[in-house]
């Protein structure tokens, strides 16, 4: 009993040491996905890393009174979680979905933004599906129901939370995992996939990069499937989680978070649907 | 003195040069001003509403009177079969021309990247900007349309302007009135005739303001046209106009061959109808002018004009059939889909059905009837509707002229004796 009490105390001392540890190092190491994903993290024209996540990370480091260092070694989003779990980064601020699977390995803060799940559907393949189903409506409930079929191949990027979302939302459809966005986009354009599934960020980026693309592909918001984004930290750092939750509560209250989201995420050219 | 002034004023305002000048100036000012003068558009709307104000009672009284007369003297049967054959033939000709022009001109093939970008942007903006476009992409429910033809309450149908339901009731009422015996029906027919003449009089007065009305309407039409999308879809627009011109020319040739005399006579008699149809983009608004032109100018049998023109305007839209056919080929080109002979035959039949369904539907809902053609082909309906709505302000005037003119030709075919033949039915019907 006494041994257990001592073990608990020791753990609590370790746990409460996270902020102290960072302050003593003088450095906050933030894990971030290797590739740029505007508007969450990308290099501006001057080569400076900007976006929602660097903005938050810089503010957190400054509030802790330490330097900021990015660890961008992870080439998948699950890999970003690995960096935090292994202690190679203090936190991850990297458009990270707070899935239940990931939450078994790391702690998540309260969510600071919610992005919507989207399908990008090949219009001609959808037309064939509608014809096969004898016409009918092509609305918010009919399209997902039509796509949830063994004959439908839907693409997703491997190592992202969307692998799980896809299996959950379209259990009957065939999941095709891709390593890169470009390969997945080419497959859906060629009609090898009826659709791909990703967040509104990537779909918005595609829209800006390929304005003619709407002729072939149709963005489709999967209503009622929000993808909540949060900051990850090591499970042994509960003091850091409490501090970051408090930090997020305060920046939500004082308007800093809204201002950063309005600057990067909700500019009019990025809006996909007005629902 | 006053009478003389009225006569001069009438001669000036009703002259085709004034009417044409009104429309042309409206186009030019609309082009330059781009909708900057706030009062012109509402003024055009007021004029259009004035024209349309009398259309429903006019069509109703015309159909009832003509059917009652034709049924009371037993001459109706003669027309029905011929009317159906001619209407179907007209629509098949229009649809075939649409397919031929589409196959020959390939309006949606090999578009420049810039044009594809503009089209992509238009689609994106339409899908994100409003729920109407997405809603309109739902395939038309032909069963609901068919059920809607029978009015639950004729007064509701009249107040909501449900043309198919009103026409259904008018036909039934006219046939019943013509079947109750001359003694009983005579007075009612006289009342309906008086009402009909009254509405025609109101429309005749409104024609004096036609140059000004067309100025306002043309101004609004031109301001509404999005130039970039027009440029991106140039080939479709040009081919559609070429097809409309061919169909209108064909209808004039049909009238000329049937009536004999100079080809210029039908053209000059029906010019007002064409101006109103083109300027207002409303077939119904052009009906009164067509009725007057056919009866007073071309001396076509009155009962046939009063029956065939209203029926035709509501149920016989060769312009829409042509539009759906060429638009289907455009979309197939756009997506690199080759239509085989069987699919072409299907498109033709489906376009006729979609055209009939569209004739009873208002505005953009009429364009959504193209879903009847596209869904079984697996082509994306939502894209078709967005693009057709985008170029509608420029195509609709020409397609309206085709609809009105084709029905005028059908009326002439049914209501005018062949050259050299004795005037069948005229004496009987007018007796």
From residue A273, how far is each of A67, A203, A218, A219, B70 by CA, in Å? 39, 11, 11, 9, 57
Q: Pick from A106-120, B46-60, B226-240 the range whose average pLDDT is largest.
A: A106-120
**A157: which strand partners?**
A178
Report the range of poorest mean pLDDT among A79-83, A245-249, A267-271, B216-220: A267-271
Cα B93 to chain centroid distance, Å, stands at: 16
Q: Is residue B424 domain-resident?
A: no
Where does the pLDDT of residue B44 fall: very low under 50, low under 70, confident under 90, or very high at 90 and above? confident
Residue B258: count of CB within 10 angstroms of its CB: 19
What pLDDT does residue A267 have? 63
Number of domains in chain B: 1
Q: Which residue has the tokens 């070429």?
A: B242
Give the helix ranges, DSSP H, for B106-153: 113-129, 131-136, 142-148
Cα R_g (chain A), whole angstroms: 21
Interface of B with A in 115-134 (CB under 8 A): 116-117, 119-121, 123-124, 127-129, 134
Q: Which residues of chain A make contact with B113, given a CB cutoff of 8 A? A: 212
Place of tokens 């219009």: A123
Say how far apart CA B34 and CA B28 lie, in whole Å.
10
Per-residue tokens: B358 = 């569209």
- Out of B128, B129, B378, the one facing A124 most closely (by C-beta) is B378
B380 contacts chain A (CB < 8 A): yes
Identify which of B124, B337, B381 has the shortest CB distance to residue A214.
B124
Question: pTM for the complete prediction?
Answer: 0.79
Please list the residues that pair with A198 across neighbouring strands. A118
pLDDT in tens, A48-101: 999 999 999 999 999 999 999 999 999 999 999 999 999 999 999 999 999 999
Supply the CATH number for residue B394's domain.
1.10.3860.10
Of residues B271, B293, B269, B251, the one with CA closest to residue B210: B271
> CA-CA distance, B326 to B344, in Å (whole number)?
11
Q: What rounded mean pLDDT belongs to chain B?
A: 84
CA dist., res. A172 & res. A56, Å (int): 39
The single-letter DSSP state of residue A97 is B
Contact A213 B380 (CB under 8 A): no
Q: Is the CB of residue A156 less than 8 Å from the CB of residue A179?
A: no
Provide, rounded to the nearest whole percent, the portion of chain B with pLDDT above 90: 25
Q: Does B422 fall in a domain?
A: no
Q: Counting one residue from A and one from B, how many pairs have CB atoms under 8 Å apart?
A: 74
The candidate with the shortest Cα–Cα distance to B401, out of B254, B325, B290, B266, is: B290
Distances (CA, A) of B231 to A66, B118, B319: 58, 9, 22
| Residues A70, A29: Cα–Cα separation, whole Å | 6
Position B167 scores a pLDDT of 84
Contacts of A226 (CB under 8 A, 6+ apart): A114, A115, A116, A117
Place of tokens 């003088």: A26
Average pLDDT value for residue range A189-203: 91
Higher confidence at residue B16 or residue B323? Answer: B323
Mean pLDDT of B259-284: 88
With a threshold of 0.85, tell me whether the complex ipTM lies above it. Answer: no
Both structure tokens of B305:
């004009």
Longest dimension (CA), chain B: 72
Top-ranked range on mean pLDDT: pick from A168-172, B73-77, B140-144, B416-420 = A168-172
- Note whether A139 contacts B382, CB cutoff 8 Å: no
Looking at residue B401, what is its pLDDT? 95
- Pick left, alpha or beta for residue A197 (phi over 0 → left; psi -120 to 50 → alpha; otherwise beta): beta
Q: What tokens appear for B329 in the block?
A: 């080929």
**CB-based contact, A269 to chain B, within 8 Å:** no
pLDDT of B358 reads 82
* Average pLDDT of span B369-390: 89
Mean pLDDT of chain A: 87
Start-end of H helices in B163-226? 163-178, 182-206, 210-224
Give A126-146 pLDDT, tens digit per residue: 998 888 887 666 666 788 989
Interface check for B140 against chain A (CB to CB < 8 A): the answer is no
In this structure, are residues A208 and B112 in contact, taking their beta carbons and an 8 Å threshold?
no
**Rounded distance between C-alpha atoms, residue B54 and residue B42, angstroms:** 19
pLDDT of residue A11: 46
Instruction: Copy the structure tokens of residue B306.
Output: 């009063």
SS3 A51: coil
Instruction: Give the domain extent around B301.
Output: 1-414
**CA–CA distances in Å: residue B203 to residues A99, B292, B303:** 69, 10, 19
B71-74's contacts with Cβ under 8 Å and 24+ in sequence apart are B71/B174, B71/B175, B71/B177, B71/B178, B71/B179, B72/B177, B72/B178, B72/B179, B72/B181, B72/B182, B72/B185, B72/B189, B73/B428, B73/B429, B73/B431
Query: Which residue in the set B124, B128, B380 is minimally distant from A123, CB to CB?
Result: B380
Whether omega before A39 lies within 30 degrees of 0, making that bond cis, reads yes
Residue among B116, B134, B379 minimizing CB distance to A215: B116
Residue of A nearest to B381 (CA): A127
pLDDT at B198 over 60: yes
How far apart, in whole angstroms, are the C-alpha atoms of residue B22 and residue B7?
Answer: 20
The pair of structure tokens assigned to B343 is: 């699919």
Task: State the pLDDT confidence band at B284, using cuts at 50, 70 and 90.
Answer: confident
Tell me the two tokens of residue B46.
Answer: 């007021």
How far apart are the C-alpha atoms of B226 and B205, rounded to whole Å? 34
A208: number of Cβ within 10 Å: 11
Q: Is residue B54 a contact partner of residue B313, using CB atoms and an 8 Å limit?
A: no
Cβ of B375 within 8 Å of Cβ of A131? The answer is yes
Residues from chain A contacting residue B334 (CB–CB below 8 Å):
215
Q: How far is A211 from chain B (nearest CA, A)?
A: 5
Q: Is residue B222 part of a domain?
A: yes
pLDDT at A233 over 70: yes
Q: How far is CA A153 from the centre of its chain?
A: 23
Residue B130 has pLDDT above 80, yes or no: no
- Least confident span in A8-12, A143-147, A156-160, B136-140: A8-12
Closest-CA residue to A203 (of A104, A115, A118): A118
Closest alpha carbon within chain A to B377: A131
Tokens of B48: 């259009």
Inform me whether the pLDDT recorded for B425 exceeds 90: no
What element of type H or E holds A247?
Answer: helix A238-253
């Amino acid at each position: 009993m006494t041994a257990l009490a001592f073990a608990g105390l020791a753990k609590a001392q370790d746990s409460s040491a996270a902020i102290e540890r960072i302050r003593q190092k003088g450095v906050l190491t933030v894990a971030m996905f290797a590739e740029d994903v505007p508007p969450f993290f990308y290099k501006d024209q001057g080569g400076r890393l900007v976006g929602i996540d660097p903005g938050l990370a810089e503010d957190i480091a400054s509030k802790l009174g330490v330097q900021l260092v990015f660890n961008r070694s992870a080439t998948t989003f699950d890999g970003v979680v690995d960096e935090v779990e292994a202690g190679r980064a203090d936190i991850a601020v990297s458009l990270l979905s707070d899935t239940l699977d990931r939450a078994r390995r790391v702690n998540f803060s309260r969510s600071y933004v919610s992005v919507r799940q989207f399908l990008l559907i090949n219009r001609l393949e959808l037309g064939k599906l509608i014809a096969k189903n004898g016409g009918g409506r092509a609305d918010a409930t009919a399209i997902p129901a039509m796509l949830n079929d063994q004959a439908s191949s839907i693409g997703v990027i491997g190592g992202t939370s969307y692998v799980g979302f896809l299996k959950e939302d379209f259990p009957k459809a065939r999941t095709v995992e891709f390593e890169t966005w470009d390969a997945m986009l080419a497959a859906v354009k060629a009609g090898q996939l009826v659709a791909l599934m990703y967040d509104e960020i990537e779909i918005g980026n595609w829209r800006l990069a390929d304005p003619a693309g709407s002729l072939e592909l149709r963005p489709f918001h999967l209503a009622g499937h929000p993808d909540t984004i949060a900051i990850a930290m090591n499970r042994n750092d509960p003091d850091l989680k409490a501090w970051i939750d408090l930090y997020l509560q305060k920046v939500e209250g004082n308007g800093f978070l809204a201002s950063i989201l309005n600057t990067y995420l909700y500019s009019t050219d990025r809006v996909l649907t007005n629902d | 003195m006053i009478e003389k002034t009225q006569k001069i004023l009438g001669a000036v305002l009703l002259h085709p040069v004034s009417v044409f000048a009104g429309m042309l100036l409206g186009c030019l000012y609309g082009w330059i001003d781009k909708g900057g003068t706030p009062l012109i558009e509402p003024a055009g709307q007021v004029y259009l509403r004035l024209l349309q104000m009398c259309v429903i009672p006019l069509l109703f009284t015309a159909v009832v009177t003509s059917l009652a007369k034709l049924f009371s003297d037993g001459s109706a049967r003669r027309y029905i079969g011929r009317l159906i054959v001619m209407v179907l033939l007209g629509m098949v000709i229009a649809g075939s021309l649409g397919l031929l022009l589409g196959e020959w001109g390939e309006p949606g093939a090999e578009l420049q990247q810039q044009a594809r970008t503009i089209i992509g942007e238009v689609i994106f903006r339409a899908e994100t900007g409003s729920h109407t476009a997405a809603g309109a992409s739902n395939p038309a429910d032909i069963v609901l349309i068919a059920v809607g033809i029978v009015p639950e309450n004729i007064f509701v149908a009249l107040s909501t302007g449900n043309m198919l339901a009103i026409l259904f009731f008018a036909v039934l009422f006219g046939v019943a009135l013509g079947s109750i015996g001359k003694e009983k029906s005579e007075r009612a027919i006289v009342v309906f005739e008086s009402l009909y003449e009254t509405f025609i009089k109101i429309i005749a007065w409104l024609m004096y303001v036609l140059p000004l009305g067309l100025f306002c309407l043309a101004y609004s039409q031109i301001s509404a046209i999005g130039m970039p999308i027009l440029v991106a879809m140039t080939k479709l627009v040009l081919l559609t106009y070429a097809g409309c011109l061919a169909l209108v020319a064909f209808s004039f040739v049909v009238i000329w061959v049937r009536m004999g005399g100079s080809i210029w006579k039908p053209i000059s008699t029906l010019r007002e109808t064409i101006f109103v149809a083109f300027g207002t983009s409303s077939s119904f608004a052009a009906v009164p002018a067509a009725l007057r032109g056919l009866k007073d100018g071309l001396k076509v049998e009155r009962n046939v004009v009063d029956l065939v023109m209203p029926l035709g305007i509501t149920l016989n839209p060769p312009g829409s059939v042509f539009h759906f056919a060429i638009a289907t080929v455009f979309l197939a080109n756009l997506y690199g889909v080759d239509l085989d002979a069987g699919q072409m035959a299907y498109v033709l039949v489906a376009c006729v059905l979609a055209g009939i369904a569209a004739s009873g539907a208002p505005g953009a809902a009429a364009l959504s009837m193209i879903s009847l053609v596209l869904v079984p082909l697996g082509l994306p309906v939502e894209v078709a509707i967005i693009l057709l709505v985008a170029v509608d302000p420029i195509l609709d005037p020409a397609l309206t002229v085709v609809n009105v003119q084709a029905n005028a030709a059908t009326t002439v075919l049914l209501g005018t004796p062949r050259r050299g033949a004795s005037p069948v039915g005229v004496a009987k019907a007018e007796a």
